[in-house]
Amino acid sequence: MTGNLRTFVLMAALTALVMGMGYLLGGQGGAVIALVIAGAGNVFAWWNSDKMVLRQQGAHPVTRQQAPELVDMVAELAQRAGLPMPAVYVLETEQPNAFATGRNPENAAVAVTQGIMRVLNRDELAGVIAHELAHIRHRDTLTMTVTATMAGAIAMLGNMLMFSSMFGGRDDNRGGGLAGILAMIFAPMAAGLVQMAISRTREYEADRSGARICGQPMALASALAKISRAAGQVVNIPAERNPASASMFIVNPLHALRMDRLFATHPPAEERIARLQAMAADFAPSRVPASGGPGGPWGAR
């Protein structure tokens, strides 16, 4: 399934969820209103979800004058991947993490946190950026950005249903408060499961393609080990405020509570690392040339 077709199917499925929740809120009229809102939301998400996610995460763009080594690294890896140069953003959080967004390779962005640049050495950071560029090349970014936006809207409707069922009276024709409570529970869960299914499969493929782009599977494996250890120790406040976007990051940015683990959007880091280690056995490593001096700004650690 192509990236655009996959996104269309997901948008249709999430729209159906929104319509069902609208029906529970207001009957047939509610379903029609929900359809109109969902349609407008889909159009908005298609064109603007990447900008929305970047704003939600507090990302700011950087130029070559501001961060020459980082921007040159992204440019070198994008050339290797056969991609146009994406915009480069930095997130003001000490949690080591990264994500990519954009509706197509011509309108893409790669975002890294301040923390990841402190924790990783140059080869490891190159592996992470290559992983994100692989998402752009596979057009995963459109799918996950739109899904994250719609899942957030569904969660908001779920909360509305909860309060409606508690304070809005009972309509026996639509199942009353019980239907509202069930929708409040299962609709956001269904959206989350969609995210989980896509995220798990796409992460393995992005790891594999990213390792080929950067030329060092073990550097990416080392980066994943460092990030997964550190991510749970530092709170990423923008991600906690917008949990629907968690699946976009290379490692889950939310604190690993029991419920988080039950609906984890990412495969286990140990499994991802094991696959990269197996890949490295038959791989000829290569390095990304350093443009900011020997070893780049991060050096070997």
The catalytic residue positions are 132
Instruction: Flag whether 138 is marked binding.
Output: no
Name the region of 139 (left: φ>0; alpha: ψ -120 to 50; beta: rest): left
Q: Is residue 203 marked as binding?
A: yes
Distance CA(164)–CA(173), nearest Å, equals: 15
Q: Report whether 131 belongs to an annotated binding site.
A: yes
**Backbone torsions φ then ψ of 283, nearest 5 degrees:** -120, 135
Alpha-carbon gap, residue 211 to 194, rounded angstroms: 26
Inter-CA distances, 161 with 22, 178, 186, 259, Å: 9, 10, 11, 21
Q: How many CB atoms lie within 10 A of CB 237?
A: 14
C-alpha dist (Å) from residue 43 to 16, 50, 134, 246, 265: 15, 13, 25, 22, 25
Closest CA relative to residue 149, chosen from 36, 275, 10, 259: 10
**Known binding-site residue numbers for Zn(2+):** 131, 135, 203
**Known binding-site residue numbers:** 131, 135, 203
